[in-house]
A and B are shown apart, each in its own frame.
Chain A
Amino acid sequence: MDRSDHRPAAMLPGSAVFPHRHLTGISGLQPHEIAFLLDEAEQWIDANRSRAKSDRRLDGVTQINAFFENSTRTLLSFEIAGKRLGADVVNMSVGQSSVKKGETLIDTAVTLNAMRADVIVIRHASSGAVQLIADKVDCPVLNAGDGSHEHPTQALLDALTIRRRLGGIAGRRVVICGDILHSRVARSNILALTALAAEVRVVAPSTLMPAAIERMGVEPFTDFDAALEGAEAVMMLRLQNERMSGAFIPSTREYHRRYGLTPERLARAHPKAIVMHPGPMNRGVEIASSVADLAGRSVINEQVEMGVAVRMACLDVLTRRARGVEGWA
């Protein structure tokens, strides 16, 4: 398993092991705190696979999922996670338009706070929006994706998947390929994986590579084939439709030619390299169907499964103080 020095002494009270009130990003988390959340998630994997999946520890806890940006999968994952722990889960889908109608984000936050939510899960199209709300409410806030900034639970579920599949993260070569410029998944993964001492390579055409990305401790590549050398995990990012038609890349077929993960390309990676994708996939664009479905190598469905476990762990840990759990109150 992982490096033991990522674990704090067992006798520390929980609030010292994970002292954060919110989870707004991976940035700000210590390596041992990331490992702690992954360890906490482990228990829910087996529980979720059994027939009796429910636990009542969040009984009476009101969880609001406030999604200011469309999402199906992440919203569902958070909803299932909350319900399996016994929380009362309320989904609030707010199109960007209603914010434009006049109510500011702060007003929305204050409204949610007045409804006495015990934990709020937020997705928003603007970087930094979740932090802004977190500063205004009394309960823990979980970032489910803010603009191009962070998507911490995605990075945690990806780290958990890699840790379980490869037996550890430290020293493993992970390749992240796709729209690094606009991707919050890439940023959170870079932060989490480098904190856990993985060797991270990022691959994108220069038009989709952010400035100074190497300052985040990763090695940038524009040549996917070269980057794949020795990779043990290959993480493909979704390419947004609006960026496919000329502004950032010439066309989807050209993108597939240069950056699509095909069986031939995958052969350049480590013989047992795992294939990851946060979903939803554009089959035939960033990933060939045959690779996406490659038994034993593609862990894309496992990522979805880990997502529920990780979100259960985060909801549990963040509400421990309010629930008066021993060592956390």
Chain B
Amino acid sequence: MIRLDNARIVLPDCVRDGSLLVAGDRIVAVGTVEAGGDAQVIDCGGRLLAPAIVDLGAFAVDRAAGIAGGIVRVGLMPDAAPVLDDPGIVQRAAASGKPDLWVHPIAAATQALAGDKLAELGILAEAGARAVATGRTRIADAGAMRRVLAYARDCGLTVIAHAEDEGLARGAVATAGETATRLGLPAAPAIAEALAVARDLMLAEETGAAIHFRQLSTAAAFDLVRAAKARGVAVTCGITPAHLLLSDIAMTDFRTFAHLSPPLRDEADRQAARAALADGTIDVLCSGHDPRGPEAKRLPFADAEPGMSGAETLLALSLGVARDLGLGYERVFALLAGAPADVLRIDAGRIAPGMPADLILVDPQAPWQIVGDRMAARAGNTPFDGLPIEGRVLRVMKGGVFVGGR
């Protein structure tokens, strides 16, 4: 048994000072704990004790980045090589984070992610897949998407969708606007996102399936999700801190680390995203972790691969956004752990008796600087290189065992 004393504990709906008792891989008591004499006692020094982060929709299993970022569970996107559309591959992916990370594979919705034939979702779920995803692109064919949603509902899996209309977005590497125009980059209008959201919301509503939009970034898309939630549609959506903190201006000087998918949007959309986070329209904060080395990034902007190394900056950037918007810690960790665990339908991501002892000890005020070259991740492609921020993970516990920290 381990007793964590003198902690500010982030519970699902409040923050409470006290102790937390871990037995085996579970949390057994929270609050005022009278533990037996054999418990190992750790003084948390009044620091924040929070549920460890559940990072929904990463593109790589990156253990070092996960530990540095306070992440113990990763919802792994199916866009790997080979694609997660086969039970053997899913099983192997599920084991690929051991011993530091739980990897929850997200099955490919269609065979080879080609967007037409259904993948073996039932068998993949038995092999360990916790959700279904369309991958880096959406499924263009509405009929195929409808079948994916209906079949995933039968299998008890949420469908994680990418929202970008392929007709509008073909060849585009930026959002249409002043920055893309000045740089001469191929761009798609921002409504490419809302068009895709509108279609998939209708299909989800009609089939009764649960749908999660992995990353939304535009005002029009948030309006659609907000309205759908009000009608009772089983919809959730996520965003990365980058889309809350940066606008398309970050692409200036052809900075390929700001080449993301969905692309960084204009300032009005960024403000709409912050409003959607504040009003509860956005459910999940995720890293979109996609480490890319120079061979993929040190290229002309349009030729570079999209994506950012986001795992180890997710917590600090999220805390920064929360401070800006006046969100409490319980809301921050609902966004980072509780809600993503719900999308994956795993019993985790919250501090309560009986839950897995996946915990992080956080100093939310500790200052540090993001330096791409010194990141623990496999690649340091962060659009925040050089940014001074606050909030650091001190210790990480996965299933009752400390796996990292300093």
The listed residue (A126, A147, A216) touching B182 by CB distance below 8 A is A216
- Taking the complex as formed, is B154 at the interface, i.e. its CB lies under 8 A from any CB of chain A? no
In the complex, A187→B179 CA distance in Å? 12
Interface contact B181-A147, CB-CB below 8 Å:
no
* Residue in contact with B185 in the complex, picked from A131, A132, A148, A216, CB distance below 8 Å: A148
B279 proximal to A (CB < 8 A): no
A81-118 contact mask (Cβ, 8 Å, vs B): 1 or 0: 00000000000000000000000111000000000000
B172-203: which have CB < 8 Å to A? 176-178, 180-187, 189
Main secondary structure of the interface of A (DSSP, over half): mixed
Min distance, Cβ B185 to any Cβ of chain A, angstroms:
6
In the docked arrangement, what's the CA distance between A147 and B301, Å? Answer: 11
Is B295 among interface residues, defined by CB-CB distance under 8 A?
yes
Instruction: Take A104-B299, A128-B300, A132-B254 as given contacts and tell me if A147 and B187 are in contact as well, using a CB distance cutoff of 8 Å.
Output: no
Asked whether A210 is an interface residue with its Cβ less than 8 Å from the other chain, the reply is yes
Q: Which chain A residues border B182 with CB–CB below 8 Å?
A: 27, 187, 216
**Residue in A124, A149, A213 whose Cβ sees the most chain B Cβ within 10 Å:** A149
Q: A104-B295, A147-B302 are in contact. Are A128 and B183 (CB under 8 A)?
A: yes
List of A residues within 8 angstroms of B184 by Cβ: 127, 146-150, 184, 187
> Is B253 at the interface (CB under 8 A from chain A)?
yes
Determine whether A12 belongs to the interface, using a CB cutoff of 8 Å to chain B: no
A18 and B57 CA atoms in complex are apart in Å by 49
**Complex Cα gap A212–B185 (Å):** 13
Q: Which residue of A lies closest to B175 (CB)?
A: A211
- Residues of A near B302 (CB, < 8 A) are 126-128, 147
A153 to chain B, nearest CB (A): 16
B206 within 8 A of A: no
Is B299 touching A105 in the complex (CB atoms < 8 A)?
Answer: yes
The answer to whether B181 touches A213 (Cβ under 8 A) is yes
Looking at the assembled complex, report how far the CB atom of B247 sits from the nearest CB atom of chain A, in whole angstroms: 13
Are B177 and A129 interface neighbours, CB within 8 A?
Answer: no
A212 CB contacts on chain B under 8 angstroms = 176-178, 181
CB of A49 closer than 8 Å to a CB of B = no
Contact A211 B300 (CB under 8 A): no
Partner of A127, one of B176, B254, B298: B254
User: CB-CB < 8 A to A131: which residues of B?
Assistant: 253-254
A127/B253 in contact, CB under 8 A = no
Q: How far is the CB of B293 from chain A (nearest CB, A)?
A: 12
From B181, B186, B189, B301, A128 is in contact (CB under 8 Å) with B301
Chain B residues with CB under 8 A of A184: 184
Q: CB distance A129 to B180 under 8 Å?
A: no
Interface size on B, residues (CB 8 A): 22
Contacts of A213 in B (CB 8 A): 181
Q: Say how far B381's CB is from chain A's closest CB, in angstroms.
A: 15
A215 CB-CB contact with B under 8 Å: yes
Q: Per-residue 0/1 for B259-296: is the Cβ within 8 Å of any A Cβ (1 yes, 0 no)? A: 00000000000000000000000000000000000110
When A126-B301, A127-B302, A149-B184 are in contact, do A211 and B254 touch as well, CB less than 8 Å?
A: no
Inter-chain CA distance A149–B253, complex, in Å, is 11
A135 to chain B, nearest CB (A): 10
Most chain A CB atoms below 10 A, which of B254, B294, B299, B300: B300
Number of residues of chain A lying within 8 A (CB) of chain B: 24
Whether a CB of chain A sits under 8 angstroms from the CB of B13 is no
For A150, the chain B residues whose CB sits under 8 A away are 184
Closest to A126 in B: B300
- Contacting pair B183 A211 (CB below 8 A): no
Q: Are B181 and A127 in contact (CB under 8 A)?
A: no
Which residues A142-193 have CB closer than 8 A to chain B? Answer: 146-150, 184, 187
Determine whether the beta carbon of B183 is less than 8 Å from that of A127: yes
A88 to B180, CA, bound (A): 37
The reply to whether B300 and A127 form a contact with Cβ atoms under 8 Å apart is yes
Instruction: Please tell me if B303 contacts chain A, counting CB pairs below 8 Å.
Output: yes
Q: Please, how many angstroms separate the alpha-carbon atoms of A132 and B253 in the complex?
A: 9
Partner of A215, one of B178, B183, B253: B178
Q: Which residues of A contact B300 (CB under 8 A)?
A: 105, 124, 126-129, 132, 146-147
Residue in B177, B184, B187, B299 with the greatest tally of chain A CB atoms within 10 Å: B184
Give the distance to chain A from B289, nearest Cβ to Cβ, in Å.
24
Q: CA–CA, A27 to B253, complex, Å?
A: 11
Residues of A close to B298: CB separation below 8 A: 104, 106, 132
8 Å CB interface, B332-380 against A: none
Task: List the B side residues contacting A146 at CB < 8 Å.
Answer: 184, 300
Chain A neighbourhood of B180, CB < 8 A: 210-211
Contact B181 A215 (CB under 8 A): yes
Closest A residue, CB atoms, query B252: A27
In the bound complex, residues from chain A placing their C-beta under 8 Å from that of B254 are 127-128, 131-132
A126 to B299, CA, bound (A): 9
Q: Which residues in B have their C-beta under 8 angstroms from that of A124? A: 300
Report the minimum CB–CB distance from A193 to chain B (whole Å).
Answer: 15
Closest chain-A Cβ to B294's Cβ sits at a distance in Å of 8
Residues on B with C-beta less than 8 A from A216 are 178, 181-182
A74 to B176, CA, bound (A): 30
Question: Across the interface, do A211 and B177 meet the contact criterion of CB distance under 8 Å?
Answer: yes
Flag if B189 contacts A127 (CB, 8 Å): no
Residues of A within 8 Å of B181, CB to CB, are: 210-213, 215-216
* Cβ A149 vs Cβ B183 within 8 A: yes
Max chain A CB contacts within 10 Å: which of B180, B182, B294, B302? Answer: B182
Chain B 56-91 interface mask (CB, 8 Å, partner A; 1/0): 000000000000000000000000000000000000
Closest residue of B by beta carbon distance from A27: B182
| Contact status of A211 and B176, CB under 8 A, knowing A148-B184, A148-B185 | yes
- The winner among B185, B186, B187, B303 for most chain A CB atoms within 10 A is B303
| Complex-state Cα separation, A212 to B302, whole angstroms | 20
CA–CA, A127 and B172, complex, Å: 13
CB<8 Å pairs between A and B, sample of 6: A126-B302, A127-B300, A132-B298, A147-B185, A211-B180, A216-B182
A210-B187, A211-B176 given; name 15 further pairs at CB < 8 Å: A104-B295, A104-B298, A126-B303, A127-B183, A127-B301, A132-B254, A147-B300, A148-B185, A149-B184, A184-B184, A210-B176, A211-B187, A212-B176, A212-B177, A216-B181
Listed in ascending order, the chain B residues whose CB lies under 8 Å from chain A are 176-178, 180-187, 189, 253-254, 294-295, 298-303
Please name the 8 residue pairs, one residue from A and one from B, whose CB atoms are nearest each other, closest first: A128-B254, A148-B184, A126-B300, A149-B184, A211-B176, A210-B181, A129-B300, A127-B184
